[in-house]
């Protein structure tokens, strides 16, 4: 009898196998190449660039017990049964709902990418092109070649900007890694070879084979040690964290301040082929035009901050230096600056902590105080004012925590930002810091950005500077340019109070820097805002201009925006990947990573 039972059981199992195979779930094999879409947080979740067939619909579930909260007559009832959660059923419903929409979206994206022809390469003469400083159309409109406007910022008109990729120089090489690049760079990588050769002849730098060698370490260390000895209260890396170097030359001063936990924004006039004498005079002439440039330096200087003036001794210009010193002491006294120390050709002044000196000065003295309604934080397309900027009555920007505590401490000027939130700003600030720490943790864990040897980094929509702060928290040794778009709130004061550097900018215009400046560009939520104002392809072309070969770009944005940006990036020749965000595969947020290969 047992043999008969076994035989019957065997045949029942045999006939049931086709039914079981029919209803078992199937999972497609995935590959990982430049066109795949990979999950950032779940490596098992991926969807290939080819269009998958819609998942087979599950058979309808026979409902034995009523689980709704409305009875047959449409009235609310409380005798319903919740039952167990069937995750498989929910997933199946989501797959059925999304498969058709996803296929339509991907088909639309593929069509769009197919329409995006490859961008061409610009003429070789544009390898060092800075659109707003090299606008031939704007400069040619001036009648006189001696006008100061000729060397000012003039951007191309809308629709007349770059529509091609700025080429790299013929013999361009991958940059020398930091910190070695502090002391030497490839000669062929330097913009404007004529200017570089001129600096070599002036003994500012030297040339050895195919490299430019910068001033020896001893010179800069001695200079910094001397400043610290003259005014110990400066305390580099503790009290003094942010420095502006005006007329920076080759930026050796800022480079060696890095070793003392100081971040420096180094600025200098662009090297033009003409009008060199006039440009050189502008570079050092803080006192020209009634000292308007020194008044601008006063506006940027924090209450209680220090101004160091180092003139270069020369027998040829000794008489001029005597007159410059006389004019300088006269103007600084009217600015209420206190001369703290002077040794040979180095002088150090300190700005007052409040407005007391200004309010008690003779009202007939010039320059006068700026009006009460003047906003010193309003900086985009605002002319330099020939007046003394008032200090905030509430002391904002004066009482700054020492470094490194100031990096995460909510500073007073957090409350000066014009934004919707009023009472919960500190909570938003801390939440923003926590968010970016988690994002950077993911970058380090998944992409190993801590091993990419990043040096020059740009955050195109910096907010409070949380991304830059997180990079510092994870020990990534880089310099970050935090950009605050004019289309949003002006958070730049908070960025500086944190001990970071940044600028305001309108991304509908080119950025004022040489091509191939940055190793890494980060943009979170930028394009979904700016696409309402300007062309996304124009912004992407500008990113390509300022990105070095072998550089990386990470973009966080909505799925629709990321799809379009991926098409543009491929048309520029970048290698792209799309990842799911931390919210998972069904979130509307995606991460686009790009690599500009040499």
Structure tokens at 188: 């062929």
Over residues 545-553, mean pLDDT: 98
Most confident of 54-68, 265-279, 575-589: 575-589
Tell me how far apart the alpha carbons of residues 154 and 97 are, in angstroms, rounded to a whole number. 52
Least confident of 18-32, 365-379, 442-456, 512-526: 18-32
Q: What is the mean pLDDT of the chain?
A: 80
- In order of 220, 304, 330, 376, the CA distances from 357 in angstroms are 35, 13, 15, 19
Structure tokens at 419: 């934004």
What is the separation of C-alpha 267 from the centre of its chain, rounded to a whole number of angstroms?
17
Tell me how far apart the alpha carbons of residues 460 and 162 are, in angstroms, rounded to a whole number. 19
Given this model, what pLDDT does residue 33 score?
A: 42
Tell me how far apart the alpha carbons of residues 487 and 490 are, in angstroms, rounded to a whole number. 9
The backbone region for 411, taken as left when phi is positive above 0, alpha when psi lies in -120 to 50, beta otherwise, is: beta
pLDDT tens column, 74-98: 444 444 444 444 445 445 544 554 4
pTM (2 decimals)? 0.78
The answer to whether 466 touches 443, Cβ cutoff 8 Å, is no
Structure tokens at 328: 């300088």
Which is more confidently placed, 115 or 456?
456
167 pLDDT band (50/70/90 cuts)?
A: very high
Structure tokens at 180: 């070695």
Tell me how far apart the alpha carbons of residues 44 and 32 are, in angstroms, rounded to a whole number. 11
Structure tokens at 181: 């690049």
Report the SS3 class of residue 385: coil
Using the CB atoms, write b or e for 410-443: b if 16+ within 10 Å: bbbbbeebeeeeeeebeeebeebbebbbebbebb
pLDDT tens column, 419-439: 776 668 899 999 999 999 999
Given this model, what pLDDT does residue 149 score?
A: 52
Would you say residue 28 has pLDDT above 60?
no
Which is more confidently placed, 208 or 79?
208
Would you say residue 562 has pLDDT above 70?
yes
- In order of 187, 200, 249, the CA distances from 206 in angstroms are 10, 5, 14
What residue spans define the domains of the chain?
169-214
Structure tokens at 192: 């404007």
Would you say residue 145 has pLDDT above 60?
no
Closest CA to 481 of 511, 453, 509, 510: 511
Given this model, what pLDDT does residue 49 score?
A: 39
Tell me how far apart the alpha carbons of residues 569 and 118 are, in angstroms, rounded to a whole number. 10
């Amino acid at each position: 009898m047992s043999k008969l039972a076994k035989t019957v059981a065997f045949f029942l199992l045999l006939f049931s196998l086709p039914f079981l195979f029919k209803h078992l779930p199937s999972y497609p094999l995935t590959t990982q190449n430049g066109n795949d879409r990979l999950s950032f947080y779940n490596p098992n979740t991926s969807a290939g660039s080819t269009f998958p067939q819609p998942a087979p619909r599950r058979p309808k579930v026979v409902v034995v017990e009523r689980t709704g909260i409305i009875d047959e007559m449409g009235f609310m009832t409380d005798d319903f049964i919740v039952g167990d959660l069937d995750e498989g059923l929910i997933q199946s419903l989501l797959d059925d709902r999304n498969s058709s929409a996803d296929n339509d979206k991907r088909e639309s994206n593929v069509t769009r990418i197919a329409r995006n022809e490859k961008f061409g390469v610009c003429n070789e003469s544009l390898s060092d092109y800075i659109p707003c400083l090299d606008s031939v159309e704007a400069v040619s409109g001036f009648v006189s070649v001696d006008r100061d406007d000729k060397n000012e910022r003039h951007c191309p008109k809308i629709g007349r900007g770059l529509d091609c990729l700025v080429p790299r120089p013929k013999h361009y090489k991958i940059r020398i890694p930091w910190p070695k690049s502090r002391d030497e760079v490839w000669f062929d990588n330097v913009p404007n070879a004529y200017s570089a050769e001129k600096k070599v002849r002036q003994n500012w730098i030297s040339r050895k084979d195919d490299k430019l060698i910068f001033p020896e370490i001893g010179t800069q260390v001695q200079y910094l040690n001397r400043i610290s000895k003259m005014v110990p209260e400066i305390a580099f890396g503790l009290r003094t964290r942010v420095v502006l170097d005006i007329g920076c030359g080759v930026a050796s001063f800022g480079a060696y301040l890095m070793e003392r936990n100081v971040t420096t924004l180094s600025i200098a006039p662009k090297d033009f082929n003409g009008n060199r004498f006039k440009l050189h005079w502008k570079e050092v002439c803080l006192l020209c035009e009634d000292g308007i440039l020194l008044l601008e330096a006063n506006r940027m200087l924090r209450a209680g901050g220090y101004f160091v003036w180092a003139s270069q001794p020369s027998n040829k210009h000794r008489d001029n230096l005597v007159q410059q010193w006389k004019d300088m002491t006269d103007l600084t006294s009217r600015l209420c600056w206190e001369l703290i120390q002077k040794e040979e050709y180095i002088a150090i002044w300190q700005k007052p902590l409040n407005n007391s000196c200004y309010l008690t000065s003779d009202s007939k003295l010039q320059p006068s105080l700026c009006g009460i309604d003047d906003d010193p934080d309003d900086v985009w397309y605002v002319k330099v004012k020939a007046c003394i900027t008032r200090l905030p009555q509430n002391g904002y920007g004066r009482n700054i925590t020492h470094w490194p505590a100031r990096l995460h401490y909510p500073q007073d000027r957090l409350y000066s930002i014009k934004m919707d939130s009023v009472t919960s700003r500190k909570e938003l600030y801390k939440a923003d810091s926590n968010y970016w720490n988690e994002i950077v943790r993911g970058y380090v864990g998944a992409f190993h950005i801590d091993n990419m040897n990043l040096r020059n980094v740009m955050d195109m929509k910096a907010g409070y500077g949380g991304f830059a702060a997180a990079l510092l928290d994870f020990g990534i040794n880089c310099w970050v340019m935090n950009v605050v778009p004019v289309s949003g709130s002006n958070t730049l004061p908070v960025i500086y109070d944190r001990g970071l550097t940044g600028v305001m900018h309108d991304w509908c215009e080119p950025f004022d820097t040489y091509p191939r400046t940055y190793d890494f560009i980060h943009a979170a939520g930028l394009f979904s805002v700016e696409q309402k104002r300007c062309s996304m392809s124009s912004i992407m072309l500008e990113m390509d201009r300022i990105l070095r070969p072998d550089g990386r770009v990470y973009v966080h944005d909505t799925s629709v925006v990321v799809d379009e940006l991926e098409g543009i990036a491929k048309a520029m020749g970048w290698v792209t990947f799309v990842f799911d965000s931390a919210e998972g595969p069904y979130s509307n947020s995606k991460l686009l990573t790009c690599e500009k290969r040499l």
